[in-house]
Structure 1
Amino acid sequence: MAWFRGAAIWLAVLAWLIPAATARGAEGGTLSRVRETGVIVIGYRPASLPFSYLDAQLRPTGYSVELCERVIATVREKLGLPDLEVRRVEVASATRMPLVINGTLDMECGITTHTAERARSQSFSLTIFVAETRLLARAGDRVQSLADLRGRPVASTIGTTSIQHLAKVNEQQNLGIRILGGLDDPEGFQLLRSGRAAAFLMDDVVLRSLLAQQGPGADDYRLSDQALTIEPYAIGLRKGDPQFKALVDEVLAGLYRSGEIHAIYRRWFESPLPSQGLNLKLPMSAAFRRVIANPTDSPDPERYR
């Protein structure tokens, strides 16, 4: 059922993807269009703590959203638009990239891995976080790799690099895994909680966030020690707009150079989350510290080892 619903979303998006892309593409660069319309559009995720979620007043907030807001502040100043309107569009794993590609979104401010394949159809900012994919299973199961799940059902989230990796390894190693897809991360986790899946494959920071929301129930689950892939996150941008990408990258690089990124990181990963009260207590990784010291927009996982 989840796969069917996911396919329906894709078909709905693709139905208007090409004509919308043509119309938006004719309008020129992002900054020119924002100057003319007085509007900038960002995409957000409603439940992807701590990167992008809705606060108690149902306003988008989070680490990625804050970084995008820093970019918006610079756009206001650069274009002399103090009353610049910010339109916020809810996205899901399956819809976020099509909405960037066709120009509906000026920035996608959620959790998206920059890959070489994705970069063929859209652009990405400098890396803003480095995650690793891991398996989450019941505490009683000793699950460290996909090979440990041979012949069993495994969940992931539709439209993610995690489910792509799961399908690839399943085929290459002939594991006979039955892949279950959630439309979003909470739904993917629910497949594990309900017993329909033996494990949930997703980025470690997402898994830690989901576990933090379980309270004492988090002890019922265990993350694999072994990381399966490296995932450099970035802000999604339209392809073929180097001027806007340069502006976004300079805002991020400025936060890295000044060291302000450390305070921003602590606010979202090492402190109680606004309107949530959850604290992930997740120190900055060595990989992201290296990005801050030497900013990069590389999609190559080896660049972050």
Structure 2
Amino acid sequence: MKRTFSLTEVARQAAAASLIAGFLPGLALAADFTGTLEKIKNDETVVVGFREASIPFSYYDDAKQPIGYSIDFTKHVLDNLRTTLNLPNLNVRWLPITSQNRISLLQNGTIDFECTTTTHNASREKQVAFSNSLFIIGTRLLAKKDSGIKDFSDLKGQTVVVGAGTTSEIILRKLNVDEKMDMRIISAKDHSESFLTLSTGRAKAMMMDDALLAGERAKTRNPQDYVITGTPQSYEAYGCMVRKGDTQMKQLVDQTIAKVETSGQGAEIYKKWFMTPIPPKQVNLDFPMSDAMKRLFAQPNDKINPEAK
């Protein structure tokens, strides 16, 4: 039997189609949603992965709510989902993830996307898709001021801690073999465990993304006792992860990030988390925006190597 539509229903669908097309060009009707957007629309729920202790990107506040630089970008994505899917009361579930399980949780549908501190690289691109970049970092070292560690060459014969499953671990282990440095490398489960290993003297230095090192230093009672040092071993871009082949979800996230970064909102988010006092100790990370970040905000992109000429 042929279905008939009231004028009200026709008007509603036309308005919805216009709204969707504004965010996702090429989509005509809500029935065209696929992949993650279809899943979220049907469930009226989105599951967001986040890190519990990645200051200042993604971590808990005193009320056990996710906050941080990356979480602010995530909230813009959530606003876009509410509008595009016409779900003003979208239910948001926040699920803690780790560097070891974040990809598998995305692939098996446990989380719908994550915007935290995940480096976009060629290996991961075979498993997931990445959005426009959120941040550009250099991989460096954190050490005590009196440790004598000034660069990676000073790590010969020393114990170094690094996060398990991170790009820093891959780089460090390769450096150890290639340069015959005889380092003793400890793989920690997360940033907090890495810093504890450093602060208790079980490691001479800690390798990680420089912005994260600034966050770990800010947590300690005496931040002035630690120094971020060493020639960057890589420049890497953080992006939001979405499921591989999910064109619609990637497009929505890409558009959200591009709008935030080019509108000036991105610069305000950066200032909030890197140049002013932040929870939990109201410490100012005092980490000025790099030229690479300024270029990214001027021209948002999803490049693997953000500094490639």
Q: Structure 2 length as normaliser, TM-score? A: 0.85
CA distance in 2, matches of 1:146, 1:274: 31
Paired residues for 1:145-160 under 5 Å: 145-160=151-166
Stretches of structure 1 that go unaligned for 5 or more consecutive residues are: 1-26
Deviates more, 1:101-110 or 1:72-81: 101-110
Structure 1 letter corresponding to 2:304: P
State the aligned residue count.
Answer: 277
Equivalent residue for 2:4? none
Displacement of 1:140 in angstroms is 1.9
CA distance in 1, matches of 2:205, 2:269: 32
* 3-state secondary structure, aligned to 2:59: strand
Stretches of structure 2 that go unaligned for 5 or more consecutive residues are: 1-32
Say whether the 8 Å CA contact 1:43–1:108 is kept in structure 2: yes
Say whether the 8 Å CA contact 2:235–2:305 is kept in structure 1: no
1:253 aligns with 2:258: yes
Query: Which of 271, 274, 280 is the equivalent residue of 2:276?
Result: 271
1:90 aligns with 2:96: yes
CA distance in 2, matches of 1:101, 1:173: 36
* 3-state secondary structure, aligned to 1:114: coil
* 3-state secondary structure, aligned to 2:62: coil
Displacement of 1:142 in angstroms is 2.8
Structure 2 letter corresponding to 1:138: K
Query: Which of 76, 80, 83 is the equivalent residue of 2:82?
Result: 76
CA distance in 2, matches of 1:274, 1:222: 21
Aligned-CA RMSD value: 1.6
Provide the identity percentage: 39
Paired residues for 1:1-305 under 5 Å: 29-215=35-221, 217-303=222-308
Say whether the 8 Å CA contact 1:133–1:228 is kept in structure 2: yes
Say whether the 8 Å CA contact 1:68–1:107 is kept in structure 2: no
Say whether the 8 Å CA contact 1:41–1:107 is kept in structure 2: yes
Say whether the 8 Å CA contact 1:153–1:179 is kept in structure 2: yes
Structure 2 letter corresponding to 1:120: K
CA distance in 1, matches of 2:236, 2:276: 23
Q: Which has the larger radius of gyration?
A: 2
Change (3 A) 1:272 1:218: closer
CA distance in 1, matches of 2:115, 2:79: 15
Q: Give every structure 1 segment of 4 or more consecutive aligned residues whose post-TM-superposition deviation is greater than 6 Å.
A: none
CA distance in 2, matches of 1:122, 1:150: 36
CA distance in 2, matches of 1:74, 1:301: 26
CA distance in 2, matches of 1:101, 1:90: 15
Displacement of 1:293 in angstroms is 1.0
Displacement of 1:129 in angstroms is 0.6
Structure 2 letter corresponding to 1:101: Q
What whole-Å deviation, never above 9, does each CA across 1:56-87 have from its counterpart, x for those lacking one?
11111111111111111111111111111101
CA distance in 2, matches of 1:73, 1:154: 41
CA distance in 2, matches of 1:219, 1:50: 18
* 3-state secondary structure, aligned to 2:278: coil
